[in-house]
Amino acid sequence: MYVMRCSKAENFREGRLSRYGNIELSPSAGVLNYGQGILEGTKANRTEDGRILLFRPEQNAARMRHGAERMCMPSPSIEQFVDAVKETVLANKRWIPPPGKGSLYVRPLLLGTGPILGLAPAPEYTFLIYASPVCNYFKDGTAPLNLFIDEEFVRASPGGAGGVKTITNYAPVLKAIVRAKNRGFSDVLYLDAMNRKYLEEVSSCNVFVVKGNLISTPAINGTVLEGVTRKSILEIARDHGYQVEERVISVDDLVDADEVFCTGTAVGVAPVGSITHQNRRIEFKSEGSLVCQELYSTLVGLQTGRIEDKKGWTVQID
């Protein structure tokens, strides 16, 4: 794993690789007491000819810097972030699965590790990256997602931190997820906090709605996380000739939708078979020729080197 530290008044300078293992924290560390922490996620893939590719790591770096500013934290530069990811992947390259069998998931963390008893920014920070091999999130033949719209819980509210990848966004959704899964659903689709009628996102991925040649996704407004996969799919969809809109999407818009799908680093692009809202189950096309499969095929092709990268999205590191 890769570790780099700095104090509140300094900038990050040099980090180092060390054996994966536990880290020591003060009981009064800012991350433990006040949740001052940010996470990221990206993947490294092995190509058929043996190369190792990262996918748009500078986008993850930029998102961490944006989140760090919101959470009153210093952050690595984009160059430091990308270089650290490269070092971590190269040090763990024996764990990268063969082509088509999975990826090396890379998890950067930015943590307030300095001791602070009062509510204030921590005096010291740690940037840490570790990695783990992962199989494909959804194997061939896996049933599409069946989502549940929970009207009791919301994921984020205006003025909050829903638009940044802070660790504090994730534990609060666990109860809603557990409750939904106990009822046989795959995950929860959250509505806006003000009106409880507009789609925002699923617990850990963005949502898209397809109607004919139009692909819509909730606009970035401070409560929706700007996913790197989301951003990439929007551009790929335009390249494929689809009309793309980032807008407010009402629950009522789901009734006439042809397809719904989710995007994220972990899930890639996952079709949604149904969404249940107020005891009403709305079903969508999830077999045959799907828009989401078309887009996912291009995304994976770029990530794994099967499709020529004319956009400069991939970074070769060996």
- Residue 39 neighbours by CB distance under 10 Å: 16
Q: For residue 241, what are the contacts with CB-CB under 8 A and spacing of at least 6?
A: 213
Cβ atoms of 232 and 56 within 8 Å: the answer is: yes
Q: H helices within 1-93, ranges in order? A: 30-34, 57-70, 78-91
Q: How many CB atoms sit inside 10 A of residue 285's CB?
A: 18
| DSSP structure class, residue 131 | E
Q: Which of 152, 127, 171 is nearest to 12 (CA)?
A: 127
> Which residues, 6 or more positions from 46, have their beta carbon under 8 angstroms from its beta carbon?
52, 53, 96, 97, 98, 99, 304
- The residues annotated with a catalytic role in the active site are 165
Give the integer Cα–Cα distance in Å for 38 and 31: 9
Angle ∠(174,39,75) on CA atoms, nearest 5: 150
DSSP code at position 52: E
Q: How far apart are CA 3 and CA 20, in angstroms?
A: 10
DSSP 267-294: TEEEEEEEEEETTEEEE---SSS-HHHH
